[in-house]
Amino acid sequence: MDYPVWAALLWFQGSYDLAVFEQAKTEIKSDSQILFAIASGSDADDGFNLSMSLTIKPHLHHQNHRMHKPTSTNSRDWTQIYTVYGMEQWQTLLFLVFQATLFSIMSILFLLYYQPICQFLDTFFLLTATSSTGGGSAARFAAGFIGCVTALSAVCLFFAAGNFFYSSVGLRYEMAQRIVSCVNDWSNVKVALDIGCGRGILLNAVATQLKKTGSSGRVVGLDRSKGTTLSTLRTANVEGVGEYVTCREGDVRSLPFGDNYFDVVVSATFVHTVGKEYGHRTVEAAAERMRVLGEMVRVLKPGGVGVVWDLLHVPEYVRRLQELKMEDITVSERVTAFMVSSHIVSFRKPIQHILGPCEVRLDWRC
């Protein structure tokens, strides 16, 4: 089963990884910044151990209040966004709606045929052999309980379907704008990279920002499917930023670019999908995700900015970025996407890394 389906159906279980992360943090608010003083946390699955302070930019915090408006994002109606970009994994949405409709019909049938169902259950229970009154009470309780669970399941599934649709369209567009805002100066950006560009919502947001600043730069979108890249180029032309966009097929575990090539590297809800063939909580999957993060750092120019919006595995990313000696590691407030928690992580690659009297080149692939 695809990951978003699993996440939607099991949304009430939450995220164990981020639960550890969230429980360990303390908010310290001031007029200029919000600090998360993160004590030492531990995760039995991945050995997470983090002790640092992460700065949250105020504009990211304030934008959270606008994030839950399903009808409009940045003066653009969600219907316009859907018309241009469509929806990835629409089969998941149909599956959720179908299941919700099925449970709704079942709950209505329980309500309409409550008495016949009670009579059927009454004959089923062995308690009727000794006490018809007790058996009838048990049957009514069982019928009522099953009906309530069925109705509640329908409500939860409809809510999950709505959240999945909003996360795929309106929220993704909103988060793309927030990712773009993490880079202070786009006028000096010559080449940017979007890893796992998909439909191109983030890709085109970057291209639009380059166009607004009058930059002569361009943004490269990398995806695993050639068919997706062709579709993404068409949406870029529709958005009027086709001359700023280049798409290509490639393996995110081994980016087909040289070292220190991009000024900005971004990614939206993609890194967590890498290595899913091993299972999301396995050591092998975590190693694959760390490879992607290392590749992002490798192709980033010294002084360049990387921004990742992803689900579930933010503590892993922060720890790995610490190990790679990244600067200005920033984590946004929690945002619910696809029924689980998500964060934006931004960082800056140091201009140089010196150990002792001489400079040592970091091996970002480690």
- Which of 162, 181, 200 is where one domain is finished? 181
- In degrees, to the nearest 5, what angle opens at C-alpha 347 toward C-alphas 271 and 164? 35
Judgement on whether residues 277 and 297 belong to the same structural domain of the protein: yes
Q: What pLDDT does 215 receive?
A: 84
Query: What CATH code is carried by the domain that includes residue 202?
Result: 3.40.50.150
What's the structural domain count of the chain? Answer: 2
More confident residue, 259 or 33: 259
Which of 241-245, 258-262, 273-277 has the weakest average pLDDT?
273-277
Q: What pLDDT does 86 receive?
A: 78
Number of H helices, E strands in the chain: 12, 15
Domain residues for the domain of 88 are: 71-181
Residue 144 is assigned to a structural domain of this protein: yes
| Residue 4 predicted with pLDDT over 70 | no
Q: What pLDDT does 136 receive?
A: 66
Distance CA 261, CA 364 (A): 14
Distance CA 169, CA 38 (A): 32
Residue 2 is assigned to a structural domain of this protein: no
pLDDT winner (highest mean) among 120-129, 164-173, 194-203:
194-203
Question: Residues 348, 326: contact at Cβ < 8 Å?
Answer: yes
- In degrees, to the nearest 5, what angle opens at C-alpha 300 toward C-alphas 253 and 54? 95
Collapsing DSSP to helix, strand or coil, 355 comes out as: strand
What are the pLDDT digits (tens) for 7-21?
444 343 443 344 433
Judgement on whether residues 129 and 104 belong to the same structural domain of the protein: yes
Which of 51-55, 134-138, 234-238, 343-347 has the weakest average pLDDT?
51-55
pLDDT bracket for residue 261 (50, 70, 90): very high
What are the pLDDT digits (tens) for 51-95?
333 443 433 333 333 333 333 345 577 788 878 887 777 788 899
Residue range 280-308: mean pLDDT, rounded: 93
- In degrees, to the nearest 5, what angle opens at C-alpha 309 toward C-alphas 303 and 313? 105
The number of C-alpha atoms within 13 Å of 223 and in the hemisphere containing its C-beta is 20
Rounded to 10 degrees, what is the CA torsion of 169, 170, 174, 176?
A: 10
Judgement on whether residues 195 and 251 belong to the same structural domain of the protein: yes
Kindly report the length of the chain: 366
Judgement on whether residues 158 and 194 belong to the same structural domain of the protein: no
| Residue 307 predicted with pLDDT over 60 | yes
Residue 203 is assigned to a structural domain of this protein: yes
| Residue 35 predicted with pLDDT over 80 | no
Q: What pLDDT does 23 receive?
A: 40
Judgement on whether residues 282 and 152 belong to the same structural domain of the protein: no
pLDDT bracket for residue 365 (50, 70, 90): very low
| Residue 106 predicted with pLDDT over 50 | yes
Buried b (16+ CB within 10 A) or exposed e, 21-32: beebbeeeeeee
Question: Residues 304, 312: contact at Cβ < 8 Å?
Answer: no
- Which of 181, 206, 224 is where one domain is finished? 181
Query: Does the predicted TM-score (pTM) go above 0.75?
Result: no
Residue 3 is assigned to a structural domain of this protein: no
Judgement on whether residues 196 and 65 belong to the same structural domain of the protein: yes
The number of C-alpha atoms within 13 Å of 188 and in the hemisphere containing its C-beta is 8
Judgement on whether residues 170 and 198 belong to the same structural domain of the protein: no
Judgement on whether residues 83 and 149 belong to the same structural domain of the protein: yes
Residue 195 is assigned to a structural domain of this protein: yes
Judgement on whether residues 322 and 251 belong to the same structural domain of the protein: yes
pLDDT bracket for residue 100 (50, 70, 90): very high
Q: Got the DSSP string for 105-164? A: HHHHHHHHTHHHHHHHHHHHSGGGGT-HHHHHHHHHHHHHHHHHHHHHHHHHHHHHHHHH
| Residue 290 predicted with pLDDT over 50 | yes
Judgement on whether residues 134 and 98 belong to the same structural domain of the protein: yes
